Structure formats: structure tokens, C-alpha cells
Amino acid sequence: MLRMFKKTNQLKDSVMSTQILIKGKADIEILKTCINIAKDLENKLSAYKEDSFISLINKNAGKKPISCPPEVIEVLKIAVKIAQETEGRFDPTVGALTQKTYGFGTKKEKIPEEKEILEKKRLVNYKEIEIKDNKIFLKKKGMALDLGGIGKGFACEKIIEYLHKKGIPNALVSIGGEICCYGKHWNIGIKHPREDRFIAVITTKEGKTTISTSGDYERFIDSMDYHHILDTKTGKQNNFYSSVTLVSEGFKGARLDAYATAIFNSSTINPFIKKDFDMMYIQKENNNITITEGFLSKVEKLVMF
């Protein structure tokens, strides 16, 4: 159910299996258009909607390429590029594991047998995605795209860009743990991964800012040890971190969303320290919080609790 807040210029709704919040000094009709952009992208990109382009690509894996609209081509190109940069720590073909093995997002969630994991992880390989003109083809039968690690950030980025181009003086878009904002100092709470409270509040600068948070508490089977962020090399969960938050200047929703997934699957942040973002992460074993050197330079203020 769409909820309107005319006095505070914000809209909330459900999209992509989470909540979307849009705030801005804009007419309510413009904010409604933003909700429609998110829902249109969900209809095109969700692997859990039978008639989406991603589902159509998956159904025709190993058979034939599928003609897709520009948004699908764009997000897949970004996904493949980040898969290359992260050497597969983020991989959009993880659907063979997430959806078809563990059953995340379906009514058949389970912790699979070792044999099934070994079998299905062989189908995870971004190098087997073929993008030619407006067509996408998965080269092996049984492969499956799952854009859960980039789709929300991509939608967030597209909506904030729309608001910015419309000349809206300040705006914030939040989809799950993905946030893009500009135009004023916004206060962003970072959830404690184990308790019903914030571990920190970030006050953003007035310029373009993107914040992405991933955690093992977002979706799991039986316990948080069996969370939904899978290591594509092992087909299993890593438990290095309980929460990872990235911050960057600019509108980089898709990029930060995907990198948060990649970092979750990395025992060390060394491969990422020269990237265009900084991070705060909580180690799962001892709950230690680490903030990288440039984090504070990218925000107006950080208050820890």
C-alpha cells in the first residue's frame, strides 16, 4: 500500500522485497514517478518474477540469447565489469546457488548437501555471459542470473539521477541498505547487526553521496551463519563480517551495492583500499569495528554509539 506524507515530502512503498523511501523537496507526482521507476526496474530485473527479462534469460540459458531493454543491458554491463574487477567475488550468475540451490527468495529455502553445492557452483561464472548489442545469453544450461547484489543500488542510482535532472534541490532515496542523496545534510542510521539499535549515525555532506550497507542479518536460513551472501568460489557463506558499510562521493548505487557483496566475501580489504570508496565493517568473530582512513573525509560527521 502506497503511503503519502505531503507535509514532509516523502513516499514509502514496498519494492524488491524491501522498503523504498524517497524524500525530497518535490511535488508528490514526481515522487510517485520515482516509485514507478523502482517498480518498473523490479519487473525487469527480478529473478523471482516469472515474466521478468532476467527470468527469461535464465529460462533460455544454453539455448538462445534474449533481446532486452537498455536498462537490463546497462546493469549487466556494470555487473560484469565489477565481477572482473573483483575477480568473481561479486558474480551476477550466482543465481544457480542463491535461488536454485539454497532457495533464497522462494518457499523452498534449505541448507543444501555438499554434493549439490559442488555441482551448482560450476555454473557460476560471469565469463559465460555474452552481451551483444541488445541481447544477453548465458552460455551454459542451468546458469542463472541473480541481481540481488546490484539491483537495489542500480534502482537507487537511477531514481536519484532522475530527481537531480528534474532540478529537485535536495533528495534522498533509500532501498533496503542502499542510499543515494544530495542537497543537504542527511542523517543516516547504520543498524547494529545483532541488536535493535544503531551502531552509528552518518551525517552526509551536501554534495552527491552514496552509502551501501550489507549484513548477514538481512536474509538467512536457520541462523545468520547461513546468510544469503554466498562465496561464488565455495558456494557457501563466509563469516568474516556481520556488517559492511561503504560510502562514496557521487551517485554510485550499483557500484557500491556490488562491492559490498564482494567485500563480504573477502578475508582482507587489501584488494579494495585503492577504490573510490571507504568503508566501515564489523568483524563477526569479535565484533570489532574498523573504519578505513578516508571514511571521515567523505561524510560531514560520524557519531558512534
Dihedral over Cα of 152, 82, 272, 233: its sign: positive
Write out 243-270 in H/E/C secondary structure: EEEEEEECCCHHHHHHHHHHHHCCCCCH
Q: What is the Cα–Cα distance from 286 to 168, expressed in whole angstroms?
A: 43
Residue with cell 561464472: 125
More reliable by pLDDT, 5 or 71 = 71
Q: What is the Cα–Cα distance from 103 to 100, expressed in whole angstroms?
A: 6
Q: What is the Cα–Cα distance from 180 to 22, expressed in whole angstroms?
A: 10
133 part of a folded domain: no
299 part of a folded domain: yes
Determine the 3-state secondary structure of 98 from DSSP: helix
Rounded average pLDDT over 263-272? 81
Cell numbers describing residue 266? 573477502
- Please give the pLDDT value at position 5: 44
The secondary structure element, H or E, covering residue 205 is none
Q: What is the per-residue pLDDT across 140-191, written as a single tens digit (0 to 9) for each?
A: 999 999 999 999 999 999 999 999 999 999 999 999 989 999 999 999 999 9
- Given a cut of 90, whether residue 269 has pLDDT beyond it is no
What's the N-to-C CA distance of the chain in angstroms? 34
Q: Which of 89, 92, 105, 124 is nearest to 221 (CA)?
A: 105
Model confidence band, residue 8 (pLDDT cutoffs 50, 70, 90): very low
Rounded average pLDDT over 4-30? 84
118 part of a folded domain: no
pTM: 0.94
Q: What is the per-residue pLDDT across 40-86, written as a single tens digit (0 to 9) for each?
A: 999 999 999 999 999 999 999 999 999 999 999 999 999 999 999 99
- Given a cut of 70, whether residue 2 has pLDDT beyond it is no
Rounded average pLDDT over 202-214? 97
Q: What is the Cα–Cα distance from 20 to 172, expressed in whole angstroms?
A: 11
Model confidence band, residue 202 (pLDDT cutoffs 50, 70, 90): very high
Tell which phi-psi region holds residue 292, choosing left (phi > 0), alpha (psi between -120 and 50) or beta.
beta
Rounded average pLDDT over 106-127? 94
- Given a cut of 90, whether residue 270 has pLDDT beyond it is no
228 part of a folded domain: yes
Domain range for 221: 3-26+170-304
CATH of the domain at 244: 3.10.520.10
Model confidence band, residue 6 (pLDDT cutoffs 50, 70, 90): very low
Rounded average pLDDT over 92-111? 93
11 part of a folded domain: yes
- Please give the pLDDT value at position 21: 97
- Please give the pLDDT value at position 292: 93
- Please give the pLDDT value at position 53: 98
What share of the chain has pLDDT > 90, as a percent? 82
Question: In the predicted model, what is the mean pLDDT of the chain?
Answer: 93
55 part of a folded domain: no
Dihedral over Cα of 292, 296, 302, 304: its sign: positive
111 part of a folded domain: no
Instruction: Give the number of domains in the chain.
Output: 1
Model confidence band, residue 272 (pLDDT cutoffs 50, 70, 90): confident
